[in-house]
Structure 1
Amino acid sequence: MNKKLAMLMVLSAAFSSAAWSATSEKSATYTAAKDAAATEYKLARARCDTIAGNPKDVCIAEAKSARVHTEANATAEYKNTLAARTSAAKDIADADYDVAKAKCGSVTGNEKDVCVKQASADKIAAVANAKADKKVIEARVDANDDKRNAEYKVAIEKCDALAGAGKDNCVTAAKTKFGK
């Protein structure tokens, strides 16, 4: 019995260490991505200082957008949740809008109005797509849960035909299979 207990303790420690290592690695990757984004932004921003006028505004907006893209994707990957991915998509849409709006600064008159409206429409579309993707994924998760519950009920119903230990084993197997 002591050997089994010792083996369980060793395995538990190994799994805990592996889980901690994976979390630590994930955190390190996230931090590295954020640091790289900051460094790249500083370099890109410095290149923008040699430009003047609207091209400089576009350059700065593109540098900021690249940073937002990298940081948002890193955060979404690190958190690995649907909410984080949706938030990242919205942040990226905002950054892309800022770039498009900056590019509109080089045109005048009605063309500028059309350009700004198009940038706004593109942002609205990107945010709407992010929200729609979230809803679709949530609906699929709900549908899978409903299917799994229905399959569980069928399995339990099949167990009702049995009696005694056979029924108990059948119910236990169904609960284990369907996580109930």
Structure 2
Amino acid sequence: MRALLTHAASIVLFACATAASAATPEAKALFEQARAAATAEYKAVRERCNSLAGNPKDVCIAEAKAARVRAEADATAQFRNTLRAYTKARIDIANADFALDRTRCAALAGNERDVCVERAKASRTAALADARADKKVIEARSDAREDKRIAEYKVAAEKCDALSGTAKDQCVAAAKSQFGY
């Protein structure tokens, strides 16, 4: 659980710290390479799982699938570099971890199994809620930044109203360029 939270926090920080960038050929190549590596690793681990039997085999396969989903989701989120992509990656990872936890719970019986399943559901619910809440916080901060920029532009434009002629035109042009209008 702690690893999932650390991973989720790193995704959010990465999303906030990076600027939006165009999909360059190099980025596309890295994305395809990461997906290919995830698939190759999944196939290799899946082959090792074939030597097991019963629930340990199921857990091994579920771990391989969760690792593949995590790697592909991270690669996709970094390639697309959008808030939506990062949120989707976190949701996909939470669902994969939930499937893994449920598979682990299958080895248990009775109340112990019920508790395990409920714990898995609670972890998934928490991860999904955190992903959605983080998305809303980031969107709210972005909206607030935009509102502040607009307000600052209005102040600068109001200051220009005291001027006339060329000085006013230059003042308005400077305000527009400063605030992106």
Partner of 1:57: 58
CA RMSD of aligned residues (A): 1.2
| Fraction of identical pairs, as percent | 59
Partner of 2:127: 126
What secondary structure sits across from 1:60 in the alignment?
Answer: helix
Q: Distance in 2 between matches of 1:119 and 1:162?
A: 66
Q: Distance in 1 between matches of 2:134 and 2:57?
A: 35
Q: Distance in 2 between matches of 1:47 and 1:127?
A: 31
In structure 2, runs of 5+ residues without a counterpart are 1-20
Q: Report how many residues are paired.
A: 161
Matches within 5 A, 1:16-31: 23-31=24-32
Kindly name which structure, 1 or 2, has the bigger radius of gyration based on alpha carbons.
1
Partner of 1:169: 170
Matches within 5 A, 1:92-107: 92-107=93-108
> Following TM superposition, by how much is the alpha carbon of 1:107 offset from its aligned partner in structure 2, in angstroms?
1.1
What secondary structure sits across from 1:177 in the alignment?
Answer: helix
Give TM-score, length-normalised by structure 2.
0.87
Higher helix residue share: 1
> Following TM superposition, by how much is the alpha carbon of 1:106 offset from its aligned partner in structure 2, in angstroms?
1.5
- Asked if 1:111 is matched to 2:109, the reply is no
> Following TM superposition, by how much is the alpha carbon of 1:105 offset from its aligned partner in structure 2, in angstroms?
1.2
> Following TM superposition, by how much is the alpha carbon of 1:64 offset from its aligned partner in structure 2, in angstroms?
0.2
What secondary structure sits across from 2:162 in the alignment?
Answer: coil
In structure 1, runs of 5+ residues without a counterpart are 1-18
Give TM-score, length-normalised by structure 1.
0.87
> Following TM superposition, by how much is the alpha carbon of 1:78 offset from its aligned partner in structure 2, in angstroms?
0.5
Q: Distance in 1 between matches of 2:61 and 2:102?
A: 12
Partner of 1:86: 87
